[in-house]
């Protein structure tokens, strides 16, 4: 059943909407018009995701739709057509109720893996430019500065282009079930990126760090010098950096 958000989640949704509006500022180059979406995953089975066609730059708490994560996950496994997936997204909805984003399934999959928190999906110009240049693996695999490791972990997930919606959710679920995709950053070729953190502010911080690294790689060219893998592992395991990551509310995978 798809419902409007409950009063119990009002503060989380207010903060998520506020963060989404900040993310949509033109200077960030994260989204245009109705690109992108954001979700709040609460303990238990609930997921609040933005309604389809919503502009992040104008997002209000009332623009979220409450869904069942277990229903979405079951639908991802069972559906074989976009029509069937639409029925899962809109099942039990009253006439006139906003339709949830078609990417709700992707949010449910990442919530299944990473737990409660906030997921921010954007289409950053620098990230898309780097992937269009065939350097997406570089952005996923390499770490350029210590804070890149702190915010994004030792490696990000990179997916080749998959049709957004059901097919993307199926691909993501397969990778998660196979244990190949433990990361708080997913890069989606020809599409955008997804960031997970414990708060909306932290999800935006993670997103902006990835964008910063994409800009760095574009400016430095294909011979950019990355941190040695031994140094990346050392930074990730340092007690002071784990402490800082906890303060920043980042789950870096």
Which pLDDT tens digit goes with each residue over 150-194? 999 999 999 999 999 999 999 999 999 888 778 999 999 999 999
Tokens at residue 157, please? 């997930």
Q: What is the mean pLDDT of residues 62-68?
A: 93
Nearest CA to 192 among 72, 29, 67? 29
Q: What is the mean pLDDT of the chain?
A: 92
- Please state whether the predicted TM-score (pTM) of the whole model is above 0.85: yes
Span 28-52, pLDDT tens digits? 999 999 999 999 998 788 899 999 9
In this predicted structure, the answer to whether residue 77 has a pLDDT above a threshold of 70 is: yes
For the chain, the C-alpha Rg in angstroms (whole number) is 17
What proportion of the chain, given as a percentage, has pLDDT over 70? 94
Order of strands across the sheet that contains 46-50: 64-68, 46-50, 37-41, 117-122, 192-197, 185-188, 157-159
The pLDDT assigned to 7 comes to: 52
Say which range, 82-96, 158-172, 179-193, 196-210, has the weakest mean pLDDT. 82-96
The pLDDT assigned to 95 comes to: 56
Provide CB contacts within 8 A for 187, sequence distance 6+.
127, 131, 136, 139, 140, 156, 157, 158, 159, 193, 210
Nearest CA to 204 among 21, 62, 65? 21
Q: Which superfamily, per CATH, for 7-140+154-219?
A: Class II aldolase/adducin N-terminal domain (3.40.225.10)
DSSP string, 2-15: -BPPPGGGHHHHHH
Tokens at residue 183, please? 């990361």
Span 212-249, pLDDT tens digits? 999 999 999 989 999 999 999 999 999 999 999 999 99
Q: What is the mean pLDDT of residues 97-114?
A: 91
| 49, 32 contact by CB (below 8 A) | no
Q: What is the mean pLDDT of residues 73-88?
A: 94
In this predicted structure, the answer to whether residue 6 has a pLDDT above a threshold of 80 is: no
Sorting pLDDT into bands at 50, 70 and 90, what band is 1? very low
């Amino acid at each position: 059943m798809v419902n409007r958000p409950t009063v119990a989640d009002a503060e989380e949704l207010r903060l998520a909407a506020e963060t989404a509006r900040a993310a949509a500022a033109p200077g960030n180059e994260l989204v245009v018009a109705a690109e992108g979406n954001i979700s709040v995953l609460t303990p238990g089975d609930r997921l609040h995701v933005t309604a389809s066609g919503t502009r992040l730059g104008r997002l209000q708490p009332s623009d979220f739709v409450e869904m069942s994560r277990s229903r979405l996950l079951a639908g991802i496994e069972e559906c074989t057509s976009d029509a069937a997936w639409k029925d899962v997204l809109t099942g039990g909805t009253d006439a006139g109720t906003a339709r949830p984003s078609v990417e709700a399934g992707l949010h449910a999959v990442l919530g299944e893996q990473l737990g409660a928190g906030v997921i921010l999906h954007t289409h950053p110009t620098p990230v898309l430019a780097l992937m269009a240049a065939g350097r997406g693996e570089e952005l996923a695999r390499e770490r350029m500065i210590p804070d890149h490791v702190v915010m994004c972990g030792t490696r990000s997930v990179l997916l080749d282009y998959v049709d957004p919606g059901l097919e993307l959710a199926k691909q993501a679920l397969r990778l998660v079930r196979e244990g190949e995709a433990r990361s708080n950053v997913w890069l989606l070729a020809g599409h955008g990126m997804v960031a997970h953190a414990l708060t909306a502010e932290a999800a935006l911080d993670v997103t902006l760090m990835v964008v910063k690294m994409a800009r760095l790689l574009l400016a430095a060219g294909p011979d950019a010098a990355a941190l040695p893998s031994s140094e990346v592992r050392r930074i990730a395991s340092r007690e002071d950096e784990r402490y800082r990551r906890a303060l920043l509310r980042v789950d870096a995978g």
